[in-house]
Amino acid sequence: MTKTNDPYGGGKYLSQGPDDRRALLEAIGVDSIDDLFASIPASSRFSGQLPVEPALAEVELARHLRELADSNGPAQGVLSFLGAGCYPHYVPAHVDALIQRQEFLTSYTPYQAEISQGTLQYIFEFQSLICFLTGIDVCNASMYDGGSAVAEAILMARRLRRQGGKVLWSEGLHPIYREVAATYATYRDLTFEIMPLGEDGRTIVPPIDDDVVAVVVQQPNFFGIVEDLKAAGADLENHPAQYVVVTSESLSWGLTVPAGDVGADLVVGELQSFGNGLNYGGPLVGFMACRQSSVRNLPGRLAGQTVDENGERGFVLTLSTREQHIRRAKATSNICTNTALCALATCIHLCSLGRNGVRDLAKTNLAKATYARQQIASEANLEVVYTGPHFNEFAIQLPGDAVEIVDRCSEAGVVPGVPLGWFDTERSRQLLVCVTEIHRRAEIDRLVTTLAEVCR
Amino acid sequence: MAEYPDSYRYTKDHEWVSFEGDVGTVGITDHAQNELGDVVYLELPEVGAQIKEGQPFGTIESVKAVSDLVAPVSGEITEVHTGLIDAPELVNDDPHAGAWMVRVRLDDAAVAETLWGADEYRKFLEETAEGD
Amino acid sequence: MSANDQSGGGAARQGQLKREGLIFEHGAPGRVGYSLPKLDVPEIDPVESWGADQVRDDIAGFPEVSEVEVVRHFTRISQHNFGVDTGMFPLGSCTMKYNPRVNESVARLPGFAAAHPYMPYSMMQGSLELMERLEQALAGVTGMDRVTLQPAAGAQGELTGIMLIAAYHAHRGEQRTKVLIPDSAHGTNPATASFCGLEPVEIPSNSRGTIDIEALAAEADENTAALMLTNPNTIGLFEDQMDEIARIIHDVGGQIYCDGANLNAILGKTRPGDIGIDVFHINLHKTFTTPHGGGGPGGGPVAVREHLAPFLPWPTVERDDSGMLCLDWQRPQSIGKIHTFQGNFAILVRAYAYIRALGPEGLRQVAEDAVLNANYLRVKLEGHYHLPYQQISLHEVIFSDRKQKKNGVTAMDICKRLMDYGYHPPTVYFPLVVPGALMLEPTETVSREELDVFIDAMIAIAGEAETDPDVVKGAPHSTFLRRLDEVGAARRPVLRWDPQAADTDGD
């Protein structure tokens, strides 16, 4: 019988057969494969079998993973109104089809520009789209996620300011973004001060002293409130501190005033809403955009336009001296990955929505969420926490512990929102509800009746 | 080998200084620009900044490398050649004149005596070239 | 192929390649590429609701294109890319291996893909079980005790790893300032150390390409927080004195961090946890075939020994008293939060699927074939290219351009010429300890015939460097674009589409 590679598992991913291995060993001039590992001394050698479960054939593997996936709520038609930094939007089929083209999916970071023009061109388009959306000059090629983007923005603000060490951040900044930024700043001489929210849910910006390096406001904020960015940044016009505007729900930009037009120095956050699914929270699409004068301090990759030897337009990664592989210990950050494929999905979705679609989709979200908010107030008799203008999310006050109420609603097949007590114990009776274009009126009505029953 | 003006003084970090009274004008040498390749960006200090001999006072970048500019003298910056930021290619094209970088009011004008003359710098280049 | 045939082997594809403008140069007013559900609730006028000064106009600058135009545009530009399925991708240190398609389909199962990160745990037992199983598998492969799946990429994993070590020392009341880093290390290593307020100290390599033990011993002291090691190192060589290295570092109270970039070579052959390593980060896209995606998204799990587990980022996957899986947010000694949620879950699904497809024997076979293939390249190309380290290598082999340089042909020229022959170039000018380095890593997923054709191409280029160096120096000749002006791009950066500049150009 001919010996073959393992037909019962992943043998099909190996391109050398038993005969090939013999031929290669002979060509190399060694007797056995062990000779090639001779540099690993006996004391370092692992000789047992790896404690990993036995191989699965593809049919078994697909079944095993389908069983795991099917045991999750979303496979069983659970109705959910969760947002809080990761938003349920419809991803058009062509977006996912295009990002699965192997030329995008399996390509490398575009250091070799001549065979990476596809990636470089869409990064350039992505950068341009985000500049148009945010009203600011330069955007990088994407980052890991909103949390790390906020963290990097604060570190960048510190580099630009060169002195001072105080960061003022809004209570309306996503609490986990604050956590990630605090982790990144562990070894920096920075202090963080919370700017509270008023009754309308908008940030109250205190007088800004000399020590401040950054003022950080989220639009719309964590509680779904549309901030008045111009008013919040008014005192920053003649102050060297960086005005950092964050978003976790970038779809809102279809309607809100571009941050760059109202004084923002850095615009950062999350683009998952465009073209990317929920995926249990990752991968996401962080980004960071700044003014032209700060570009040399911007972390992350950048694609730039240039020409080839024949004068044809092309694109390259540029200003790479900012990055770790050149500067090593002096790099602006240690990031060497963006989230290129997710940024591609964002880019494709944004191009498809085009000049009018971002606004139209945002208006749909506004209408659905407003309906839900009004129905919850009138039919379930639950009050909203803040009186200010909302986009597609809002916080409501519950009569009891939000975690318990969520559990009880969940038993009825409705996950009504995110319990805010997770982030702040003083908010243990508050719930953050998100409604988007995926929710039909009947589903919103079901949310309202479920909440009304459970809270009665 | 390129022309190294006899009236200038030089350092092992490949910077040149030309002295006029208590003011020194600083740039990088032809050898330095040649080693760096095409210069794409410079970061220079602001007028009024204090620089200190042997300490970095700015950076210079080519496509693939970034180097510190090391101050050849100590003193206060009185003038900065901001035009270089928009035309960094001058550093490659005319390193010893057109691409001057900063003028410095010297803490001690006698510093000129401690730096190399053109002959010494040329000799240094020949010696270090042998190592390749 | 004759020396005059400048197009090399890649020319056949060229007929398909068309120039493709930017998306901003497509479309016309009034075209749409989207569809909206009809509004089943009352319409809200944002100007009335928010006030006129809070509402923007439409997005000037955005294209107006149909879905058809979008699909054609992105399909066309994709054809200017080179992927793993296009051909051999011998990019040293980057482990560009085949990405199984089943991994793509299972990651898209609605039960995984449509799950919100704040779903109640009781509804997410399947995903949490996958995370628990993946953690166990990675711990098993590396011989470590606990694994965080949270870091979004290798570099973030590296940052997490060094923060864990810093937190460990701080918890013990020690102020250590130095991180020892071999000179062959990845550029991220010193960047990460500085980021954590630690001072990187370079340790030289010996003539065999491994760490100079005497230099290490001389530098290691009670101020040493960590040694950052890559093993096998970036030259593809195993640090054969691990016992001694571990003793030196642990004797002074330091920790050993190992960069897992080269895990592919040692699967089932040696385990970091068994040879004195305290922290190990894993690049899922390298060893465990999650697609590179043109530069992310990645996954950078960090595996640690038990004594570092309390410091792992929160949340970790745990079981409660009833055996239900949940995410533990209460980790008082934790370094904090690294990812906004619990990591790049969709990437974790792919890595888990790969490990389950191979099983223990398959994983070991991966390492064996990867090493076999690299050594085959070594013996076949030695003589044609300078080989700075003569010994048997592991999964990658380093040559240099020393022979070709005599004719003015550099490593970069050789790279660009390989494109004409239909290959993605190898890694060049890395590691820095080898001038003009060409670093080849074929991986286990190429066949003998593919290796032979690649070897022929490399030998042909070595010949061209002798007989017709200009054809190599002017390469690539057959790609969609010729060499690009990086200097111009950096001197006067154009980083976004500017419709006004474009209009002026047209006048």
CA distance C155 to chain A (A): 6
CA distance C471 to chain B (A): 23
Rounded to the nearest integer, the mean pLDDT of chain A is 94
Residue A327 confidence class, pLDDT cut points 50, 70, 90: low
Rounded to the nearest integer, the mean pLDDT of chain C is 93
- The residue among C105 and C187 whose pLDDT is bigger is C105
Residues of C in contact with A88 (CB under 8 A): 114, 116
Residue C1: pLDDT over 60: no
Question: Rounded to an integer, what distance in angstroms lies between the CA atom of residue C276 and that of residue C247?
Answer: 8
Residue A1: pLDDT over 70: no
Question: Could you tell me the fold of the domain covering B9-121?
Answer: OB fold (Dihydrolipoamide Acetyltransferase, E2P) (2.40.50)
Q: Does the CB of A328 have a partner CB in chain B at under 8 Å?
A: no
pLDDT of the residue at C503: 61
pLDDT of the residue at C398: 94
Residue C8: pLDDT over 80: no
Give the DSSP letter of residue A314: E
Structurally, what CATH architecture does the domain formed by C366-488 represent? Alpha-Beta Complex (3.90)
**Mutation target among C13, C47, C82, C270 for the A interface, most CBs of A within 10 A:** C82
Task: Determine if residue A280 is left, alpha or beta; phi over 0 gives left, psi from -120 to 50 gives alpha, anything else beta.
Answer: left
> Where are the extended beta strands (E) located within C349-442?
397-400, 427-428, 437-440
Percent of chain A with pLDDT over 70: 96
Chain B residue with the nearest C-alpha to that of C493: B40
Q: What's the burial of A295, exposed, middle or buried (CB within 10 Å: 0-12/13-18/19+)?
A: middle
pLDDT of the residue at A379: 96
- Which tokens go with C344? 């790049």
Question: Rounded to an integer, what distance in angstroms lies between the CA atom of residue C314 and that of residue C335?
Answer: 8
Residue C431 confidence class, pLDDT cut points 50, 70, 90: confident
Question: Rounded to an integer, what distance in angstroms lies between the CA atom of residue A132 and that of residue C386?
Answer: 51
- Contact: C191, A333; criterion CB under 8 Å: yes
Q: Does the CB of B89 have a partner CB in chain C at under 8 Å?
A: yes
Residues of C in contact with A128 (CB under 8 A): 22, 24, 61, 496-497
Nearest alpha-carbon partner for C27 in C76, C75, C62: C62
Listed in sequence order, the residues at least 6 apart from C505 whose beta carbon sits closer than 8 Å to its beta carbon are none
Chain B residue with the nearest C-alpha to that of A322: B66
Q: Does the CB of C486 have a partner CB in chain B at under 8 Å?
A: yes
- Contact: B66, A326; criterion CB under 8 Å: yes
Tens digit of pLDDT for each residue in A299-315?
Answer: 889 999 999 999 999 99
Residue C43 confidence class, pLDDT cut points 50, 70, 90: very high
Q: Does the CB of B66 have a partner CB in chain A at under 8 Å?
A: yes
pLDDT of the residue at C261: 86
Angle between the A18-28 and C448-467 helix axes, to the nearest 10 degrees?
40
Residue C12 confidence class, pLDDT cut points 50, 70, 90: very low
Nearest alpha-carbon partner for C284 in C372, C374, C358, C346: C346
Residue type, C169: H
Residues of B in contact with A323 (CB under 8 A): none
Q: Does the CB of B66 have a partner CB in chain C at under 8 Å?
A: no
Nearest to A326 among B40, B41, B65 (CB): B65
> Where are the extended beta strands (E) located within A248-384?
266-270, 286-290, 303-307, 313-317
Least confident window among A291-295, B120-124, C188-192, C441-445 = C188-192
* Mean pLDDT of the B54-78 span: 89
pLDDT of the residue at C7: 47
- Which tokens go with C501? 């500049």
Question: Rounded to an integer, what distance in angstroms lies between the CA atom of residue A208 and that of residue A167?
Answer: 10
Q: Does the CB of B129 have a partner CB in chain A at under 8 Å?
A: no
- Contact: A354, C27; criterion CB under 8 Å: yes
Question: Rounded to an integer, what distance in angstroms lies between the CA atom of residue A95 and that of residue A347?
Answer: 9
Residue B35: pLDDT over 90: no
Q: Does the CB of C361 have a partner CB in chain B at under 8 Å?
A: no
Nearest to C296 among A14, A318, A340 (CB): A340
Structurally, what CATH architecture does the domain formed by C115-343 represent? 3-Layer(aba) Sandwich (3.40)
Residue C433 confidence class, pLDDT cut points 50, 70, 90: confident
Are residues C185 and C232 in contact, defined by beta-carbon separation less than 8 angstroms?
Answer: no
Residue C430 confidence class, pLDDT cut points 50, 70, 90: confident
Domain with CATH 3.40.640.10 in chain C: 115-343
pLDDT of the residue at B68: 87
Nearest alpha-carbon partner for B71 in B28, B22, B128, B125: B28
CA distance A313 to chain C (A): 9
pLDDT of the residue at A9: 86
Torsion of CA C454, C459, C460, C461, to 10 degrees: 90
pLDDT of the residue at C113: 97
- Which tokens go with C150? 């949270």
Give the DSSP letter of residue C209: S
Nearest alpha-carbon partner for C427 in C246, C227, C234, C271: C234
Question: Rounded to an integer, what distance in angstroms lies between the CA atom of residue C131 and that of residue C115?
Answer: 14
CA distance C466 to chain A (A): 24
* Mean pLDDT of the C156-180 span: 96
CB pairs under 8 A between B and C: 13
Q: Does the CB of B43 have a partner CB in chain C at under 8 Å?
A: no
Question: Rounded to an integer, what distance in angstroms lies between the CA atom of residue C412 and that of residue C419?
Answer: 11
Question: Rounded to an integer, what distance in angstroms lies between the CA atom of residue C462 and that of residue C469?
Answer: 9
Structurally, what CATH architecture does the domain formed by A93-349 represent? 3-Layer(aba) Sandwich (3.40)
- Contact: B61, C487; criterion CB under 8 Å: no
Question: Rounded to an integer, what distance in angstroms lies between the CA atom of residue C440 and that of residue C196?
Answer: 32
Listed in sequence order, the residues at least 6 apart from A352 whose beta carbon sits closer than 8 Å to its beta carbon are A92, A94, A95, C33, C34, C65, C67, C70
Nearest alpha-carbon partner for C83 in B39, A112, A417: A112
Question: Rounded to an integer, what distance in angstroms lies between the CA atom of residue C214 and that of residue C241?
Answer: 12
Listed in sequence order, the residues at least 6 apart from A205 whose beta carbon sits closer than 8 Å to its beta carbon are A168, A195, A215, A217, A232, A233, A234, A235
Residue A337 confidence class, pLDDT cut points 50, 70, 90: low
Question: Rounded to an integer, what distance in angstroms lies between the CA atom of residue C450 and that of residue C444?
Answer: 12
Q: Does the CB of B85 have a partner CB in chain C at under 8 Å?
A: no
Q: What's the burial of A442, exposed, middle or buried (CB within 10 Å: 0-12/13-18/19+)?
A: exposed
Angle between the C345-381 and A58-70 helix axes, to the nearest 10 degrees?
150
Q: Which chains touch B (3 or more CB pairs under 8 A)?
A: A, C
Q: Which chains touch A (3 or more CB pairs under 8 A)?
A: B, C
Residue C232: pLDDT over 60: yes
Least confident window among A221-225, A362-366, B54-58, C161-165 = B54-58
Instruction: Reduce the DSSP state of residue C191 to 3 states and report it.
Output: helix
**How many CB atoms are located within 10 Å of the residue C2 CB?**
6
Residue A326: pLDDT over 80: no
Chain C residue with the nearest C-alpha to that of B90: C491
Instruction: State CA A36 to chain mean position distance.
Output: 43
Residue C338 confidence class, pLDDT cut points 50, 70, 90: very high
- Contact: C487, B40; criterion CB under 8 Å: yes
Q: Where are the domains of chain A?
A: 78-91+355-455, 93-349
- Contact: A74, C119; criterion CB under 8 Å: yes
Parallel, antiparallel or unpaired: strands C302-304 and C146-148: antiparallel
- DSSP string of A130-149? HHHHHT-SEE-S-BS-HHHH
Percent of chain A with pLDDT over 90: 90
pLDDT of the residue at A332: 58
pLDDT of the residue at C124: 97
Question: How many CA atoms, within 13 angstroms, populate the side-chain half-sphere of residue A119?
Answer: 35
Rounded to the nearest integer, the mean pLDDT of chain B is 90
Instruction: Reduce the DSSP state of residue C17 to 3 states and report it.
Output: coil
- DSSP string of C304-368? E-GGGGGGSPSPEEEE-TTS-EEEE---TT-----SSSSS-HHHHHHHHHHHHHHHHHHHHHHHH
Listed in sequence order, the residues at least 6 apart from A74 whose beta carbon sits closer than 8 Å to its beta carbon are A80, C110, C111, C114, C115, C116, C119, C123
Q: How many residues does chain B have?
A: 132
- Contact: C487, B38; criterion CB under 8 Å: yes
Listed in sequence order, the residues at least 6 apart from C467 whose beta carbon sits closer than 8 Å to its beta carbon are C3
Distances (CA, A) of B33 to A37, A277, B13, C182, C399: 46, 50, 12, 30, 29
Q: Where are the domains of chain B?
A: 9-121
CA distance C357 to chain A (A): 5
* Mean pLDDT of the C79-98 span: 92
Nearest alpha-carbon partner for A129 in C77, C503, C63, C500: C63
pLDDT of the residue at A405: 97
Q: Which chains touch C (3 or more CB pairs under 8 A)?
A: A, B
CB pairs under 8 A between A and C: 710
What is A78-91+355-455's CATH number, 3.40.50.300, 3.30.360.10, 3.90.1150.10, 3.40.50.1440?
A: 3.90.1150.10
Q: How many residues does chain A have?
A: 456
Residues of A in contact with C190 (CB under 8 A): 328-329
- The residue among B64 and B102 whose pLDDT is bigger is B102
Residue A87: pLDDT over 90: yes
Are residues C125 and A75 in contact, defined by beta-carbon separation less than 8 angstroms?
Answer: no
pLDDT of the residue at C5: 46
- Contact: A327, B66; criterion CB under 8 Å: yes
- Which tokens go with B7? 């009236």
Nearest alpha-carbon partner for C293 in A107, A265, A353, B53: A107
Q: Does the CB of A330 have a partner CB in chain B at under 8 Å?
A: yes
How many helices (H) and strands (E) would you count in chain B? 4, 9
CA distance C378 to chain B (A): 27
- Contact: B64, A330; criterion CB under 8 Å: no
Residues of A in contact with C387 (CB under 8 A): none
Nearest alpha-carbon partner for A424 in A406, A441, A402, A439: A402
Tens digit of pLDDT for each residue in C355-382?
Answer: 999 999 999 999 999 999 999 999 999 9
Are residues B96 and B4 in contact, defined by beta-carbon separation less than 8 angstroms?
Answer: yes
Greatest CA separation found in chain B?
A: 41
Least confident window among A192-201, A329-338, B117-126 = A329-338
Question: Rounded to an integer, what distance in angstroms lies between the CA atom of residue A237 and that of residue C117?
Answer: 38
Tens digit of pLDDT for each residue in C90-132?
Answer: 998 889 999 999 999 999 999 999 999 999 999 999 999 999 9
Are residues B98 and B41 in contact, defined by beta-carbon separation less than 8 angstroms?
Answer: no
Own/partner pairs, A418-425, CB within 8 angstroms, 24+ separation? A418/A82, A418/A83, A418/A84, A418/C118, A420/A395, A422/C329, A423/A175, A423/A176, A424/A175
* Mean pLDDT of the C157-164 span: 96
Chain C residue with the nearest C-alpha to that of B62: C487
